Chain A
Amino acid sequence: MRTTHVHVKQTSYETRHLRWVLSDRAIVHLFIWPTLVLLICMNVFPLFYSLYLSFTDYSAIARQAPRWVGLQNFSDILNDPQLWKYFATTGKYAFFSVGLQVIVGFTLAMLVKEKFRGSGLITTLILLPMMLSPVVVGLFWKLIYNPTFGYFNYLLGFTDPSKGPDMLASRFAGKPVPDLALWAVVIVDVWMWSPFVMLLVLSGLKAIPEYLYEAAAIDRASPWFQFWHITLPQVLPLLLIAILFRTIEAFKAFDLVMGLTGGGPGDQTELIAVNLYRQAFLGQWQTGRASALAYIILIVIIAISNIYIRFLNRLRD
């Protein structure tokens, strides 16, 4: 720790005394290093460690040292049709859930834009889902989706379980319907995260200067024209941030799916993060291979984020 010996002269008191004072530079080091050290120990080091593991054949429960196999894991993964399928499932899930969230969130934002009585309470209620624990939310929706005693079918008017949809088993009236379970997950995700899009859109809407609309009204512009040429362009940057955050989250989706379906039925809702968990821990313990898959997922997420951020910057210019 660097301390400097400072000679302070206070004219107002005409007293002189000596103090030990931390210099600004010492303060910066003192304030920032604890955080950085922790992050490096718990994030950077593990990442390098798992990079090394991804080139080895290793299982965490075997009593053997990691065996160097080079790019074997990566080529295995990229040649595995199953994994491509999980990536496709994840992509589909991301596309539909984020798309629907944008639509629902935007609509909600337009609805609660005006202040009215009880709008604070309504907003709180709308925002609540995203603060809840995803895995618990998943469990609850499992109950709601239950074909016999759940509210989902009841509210849709299917009182006879043999005629209604069984969302989580991907069946409708006893016949299998592919991807129904994935849609069930999408619905819950939309319920949970549309409020997030709504929040961002709202803050964008509030920033639009009123005179733009006044000018449009003088020019007799139609409401549609106003929406497309004033509202949307003004909100777009924030909307894209929302889309970026949600897309990254969709690729990380894990706890909601674990609570709701556990990847089933079969592997219809086996998103890539769920599969990674399965390979790394659940009975398989393929630590090396899972590390390689983790890196591939990481690269995908970084690539997507970069494309988005470039696009955002181009919009700003």
Chain B
Amino acid sequence: MIMTAFKSRADVVSVPPKIIFEPTLEGFVYLLTERAVVPQSQMAALQAAAEAGELNYFQRIALRTGQIITGPSDYVDRLRNSVIIAGLSTLFSVILGVFAAYAFSRFPIPGKDDLLFFILSTRMLPPVVVTIPLFLMYRQLKLHDTHLGMILLYTVFNLSLAVWLLKGFMDEIPTEYEDAAMVDGYTRFQAFYKIVLPQAATGIAATTVFCLIFAWNEYAFALMLTSDDARTAPPSIATMLGRGGIEWSAIAAGSLGFLIPVVFVTFLLRNHLLRGVTFGAVRR
């Protein structure tokens, strides 16, 4: 896949598949730009310049493919949407999750187990089931295809994960520290943010990253609840197939740019991964 991203169009579809090839950035250029066909009059000028040997990289591509670059493509917008929506929703999920997890972890709450199970069960629903009524709700509230709507949705979507994970981390912090602090005259709230939060820092970091990844990768909601303004990268990578033949090198480049952060993060997270994918139900 990494290889495909750096192949030229001809190399992608060669038979048998090429293992060794001349890498180009053509895929990335296709991906990130809008292009138009070069008019005949300009082609002649380009060819003249080529013979004189004074072409830059983009002009060379223009000569080879007969297209010139006219501006940034939609994909740049989509990627920005992905960053904004995933980032902000993660921030909200984690903040709300920290509070709720602390309360669940430290206080006797009537019906605690039922509440926690309810919170977990929201993650068991197939997204498609919730999307139908949400779609109608969002249309009424004018939230369809808005950043705010998507951020709200992803916040809730990740909240259950955040609460479960963080509760698991906080259960491991001994209560003695807080108790001692409160004996020394700290209020409950002070004890929470001066003692518990610093101790739960690794857990909070891991939770943040999980929420980021899930929001970053989410496809179903994004496909059904956005159309253009707030569309994120996964659905748009998927629809790139439809336009102007299958630009495999562009799709590969798009996917690659989209996956690199995840690869990096997975490496950081490998010790917490088990907890993340089982909602903290299983300890390592």
Which A residues are in CB contact (< 8 Å) with B220? 254-255, 277
Instruction: Kindly supply a per-residue 1/0 record for chain B positions 121-141, scoring 1 wherever the CB is within 8 Å of any chain A CB and 0 otherwise.
Output: 010111111111111110100
| Chain A residues touching B, majority SS | helix
Decide if A151 touches B17 in the complex (CB within 8 Å).
Answer: yes
- In the complex, which residue of chain B has the Cβ closest to the Cβ of A150? B17
- In the complex, which residue of chain B has the Cβ closest to the Cβ of A10? B185
* Interface residue tally for chain A (C-beta within 8 Å): 76
Which A residues are in CB contact (< 8 Å) with B103? 27-28, 31-32
Instruction: Kindly supply a per-residue 1/0 record for chain A positions 29-40, scoring 1 wherever the CB is within 8 Å of any chain B CB and 0 otherwise.
Output: 011101110110
Decide if A200 touches B188 in the complex (CB within 8 Å).
Answer: no
Which A residues are in CB contact (< 8 Å) with B263? 128, 131
User: What's the Cα separation between A60 and B274 when bound, in Å?
Assistant: 40
User: What's the Cα separation between A242 and B224 when bound, in Å?
Assistant: 29
Decide if A42 touches B153 in the complex (CB within 8 Å).
Answer: yes
Decide if B1 touches A127 in the complex (CB within 8 Å).
Answer: no
Which B residues are in CB contact (< 8 Å) with A280? 128, 131-132
B-contacting 9-mer, from A71-79, A215-223, A227-235, A290-298: A290-298
Task: Return the contact of B255 from the options A21, A140, A290 (Cβ within 8 A).
Answer: A140
- In the complex, which residue of chain A has the Cβ closest to the Cβ of B259? A132
User: What's the Cα separation between A124 and B189 when bound, in Å?
Assistant: 39
Decide if A294 touches B129 in the complex (CB within 8 Å).
Answer: yes
Residue B234 CB within 8 A of the other chain = yes
Within 8 A of B (CB), among A38-85: 38-39, 41-43, 45-47, 49-50, 53, 60
Residue B88 CB within 8 A of the other chain = no
Task: Return the contact of B137 from the options A8, A22, A49, A127 (Cβ within 8 A).
Answer: A49
Decide if B234 touches A133 in the complex (CB within 8 Å).
Answer: yes
| Chain B residues touching A, majority SS | helix
Decide if B217 touches A133 in the complex (CB within 8 Å).
Answer: yes
Decide if B136 touches A273 in the complex (CB within 8 Å).
Answer: no
Residue A97 CB within 8 A of the other chain = no
Within 8 A of B (CB), among A251-288: 251-252, 254-255, 258-259, 273, 276-277, 280-281, 287
Residue B175 CB within 8 A of the other chain = no
Residue A149 CB within 8 A of the other chain = yes
Residue B148 CB within 8 A of the other chain = no
A261 to chain B, nearest CB (A): 12
Task: Return the contact of A196 from the options B136, B218, B277 (Cβ within 8 A).
Answer: B277
Residue A154 CB within 8 A of the other chain = yes
Within 8 A of B (CB), among A130-144: 130-136, 139-140, 143
User: What's the Cα separation between A22 and B213 when bound, in Å?
Assistant: 36
Which A residues are in CB contact (< 8 Å) with B213? 131
Which B residues are in CB contact (< 8 Å) with A43? 122, 125, 130, 156
Which A residues are in CB contact (< 8 Å) with B133? 45-47, 49-50, 53, 291
Max chain B Cβ within 10 angstroms of own Cβ: one of A34, A49, A136, A259: A136
Residue B119 CB within 8 A of the other chain = yes
Which B residues are in CB contact (< 8 Å) with A35? 96-97, 99-100, 119, 159, 163
Task: Return the contact of A22 from the options B4, B124, B188, B266 (Cβ within 8 A).
Answer: B188
Which A residues are in CB contact (< 8 Å) with B156? 38-39, 41-43
Residue A248 CB within 8 A of the other chain = yes
Max chain A Cβ within 10 angstroms of own Cβ: one of B128, B252, B273: B128
A-contacting 9-mer, from B7-15, B35-43, B49-57, B68-76: B7-15
Decide if A133 touches B259 in the complex (CB within 8 Å).
Answer: yes
A-contacting 9-mer, from B20-28, B58-66, B235-243: B235-243
User: What's the Cα separation between A124 and B102 when bound, in Å?
Assistant: 31
Task: Return the contact of A294 from the options B14, B99, B128 (Cβ within 8 A).
Answer: B128
- In the complex, which residue of chain A has the Cβ closest to the Cβ of B189? A22
Residue B245 CB within 8 A of the other chain = no
24 A-B pairs whose Cβ atoms sit less than 8 Å apart in the complex = A22-B189, A27-B192, A32-B115, A38-B96, A42-B130, A43-B156, A45-B133, A47-B130, A50-B133, A60-B139, A124-B266, A131-B217, A133-B218, A133-B262, A135-B235, A135-B237, A136-B237, A154-B17, A203-B284, A245-B277, A254-B127, A273-B128, A290-B132, A294-B126
Q: Point out residues on B near A: beta carbons under 8 Å.
A: 1, 4, 12-17, 96-97, 99-100, 102-104, 107, 109, 115, 118-119, 122, 124-137, 139, 152-153, 155-156, 159-160, 163, 185, 187-189, 192, 213, 216-220, 223-224, 234-235, 237-238, 241, 248, 251-252, 255, 258-259, 262-263, 265-267, 270, 273-274, 277-278, 281-284
Kindly list 5 other residue pairs between chains A and B, CB separation below 8 angstroms, not including A21-B188, A28-B103, A135-B234: A127-B270, A159-B15, A277-B128, A298-B129, A301-B124
